[in-house]
């Protein structure tokens, strides 16, 4: 068969045409049914010219617009993208949508006989979105921490050793035998019904910075727009 190294580390004397032919050989060897498929030359050309993908992260300090503009909410990756590190992009977006619906049901109740219905609706929408932001900003920041760890910061040496040993125990035992250890983080995120904030606080020993309390988050969010 064709050696993948010949494509990953091509002979500098190979022409572009040689590299395209080599690539097609590898594709046909791995996927024989593709041989003879129309358009393969174009497909190989696009494959070889495709740029390396880059995953971006997003961390917002509020998910709602100020009261001076049209009521707008940020959900999913627009509010808290982790670049696929945690594998929770879709789940967290669905949770955002569900919480937003709950907040609208709770706060948006305009009446037909209101003489100032337009202003009332706008105020109720802003209240709904403020409530949504209060609930989900902590969740988004917790997911960011769980995805990226200390983001370049280093634990003190003894705490770092303790955290490493705890990780090893969790990986080996995972709480399956005699209650030793806990589920590894990735398994926990994929299987637990606990909130991201609960999981983040429960794993504080792995982090340099203390995760804010609910009260601290409320103060932070109020200060953004001086609510």
Single out the residue of 183, 180, 159 nearest to residue 171, CA to CA. 183
* Segment 104-163, tens digit of pLDDT: 999 999 988 888 999 999 999 999 999 999 999 999 999 999 988 887 788 888 777 877
Within 10 angstroms of residue 94's Cβ, the number of other Cβ atoms is 12
Question: Does position 225 have pLDDT exceeding 60, yes or no?
Answer: yes
Say which residue the tokens 């940020």 belong to.
Answer: 74
How many residues are recorded in the chain?
227
SS3 call for 54: coil
Q: What is the average per-residue pLDDT within 90-114? A: 93
Query: Which pTM does this prediction carry?
Result: 0.71
**Structure confidence by residue, pLDDT tens digits, 160-215:** 787 788 878 777 777 777 777 778 888 888 888 899 999 999 999 889 999 999 99
Residue with tokens 């040689």: 18
Q: Give me 39's structure tokens.
A: 């358009």
227 pLDDT exceeds 60? Answer: no
d(CA 201, CA 95) in angstroms, rounded, equals: 19
Helices within the chain (DSSP H only): 5-8, 16-30, 40-49, 77-80, 89-107, 117-148, 157-173, 185-191, 196-202, 214-225
Pairwise CA distance, residues 154 & 145, whole Å? 14
pLDDT tens digits, one per residue of 54-87 = 667 888 999 999 888 899 999 999 999 887 767 8
């Amino acid at each position: 068969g064709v050696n993948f190294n010949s494509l990953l580390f091509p002979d500098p004397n190979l022409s572009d045409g040689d590299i395209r032919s080599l690539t097609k050989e590898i594709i046909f060897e791995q996927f024989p049914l593709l041989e003879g498929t129309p358009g393969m030359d174009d497909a190989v050309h696009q494959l070889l010219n495709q740029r390396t993908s880059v995953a971006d992260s997003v961390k917002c300090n509020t998910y709602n617009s100020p009261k001076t503009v049209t009521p707008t909410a940020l959900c999913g990756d627009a509010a808290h993208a982790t670049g696929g590190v945690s594998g929770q992009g879709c789940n967290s977006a669905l949770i955002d949508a569900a919480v937003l619906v709950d907040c609208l049901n709770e706060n948006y109740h305009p009446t037909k006989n209101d003489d100032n219905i337009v202003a009332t609706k706008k105020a109720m929408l802003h209240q709904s979105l403020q409530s949504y932001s209060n609930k989900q900003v902590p969740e988004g920041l917790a997911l960011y921490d769980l995805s990226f760890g200390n983001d370049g910061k280093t634990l003190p040496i003894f705490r770092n050793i303790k955290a490493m040993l705890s990780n090893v125990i969790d990986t080996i035992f995972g709480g399956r035998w005699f209650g030793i250890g806990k589920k590894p983080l990735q398994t926990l995120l994929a299987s637990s019904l606990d909130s991201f904030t609960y999981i983040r606080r429960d794993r504080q020993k792995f982090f340099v910075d203390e995760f804010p309390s609910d009260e601290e988050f409320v103060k932070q969010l109020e200060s953004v727009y001086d609510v």
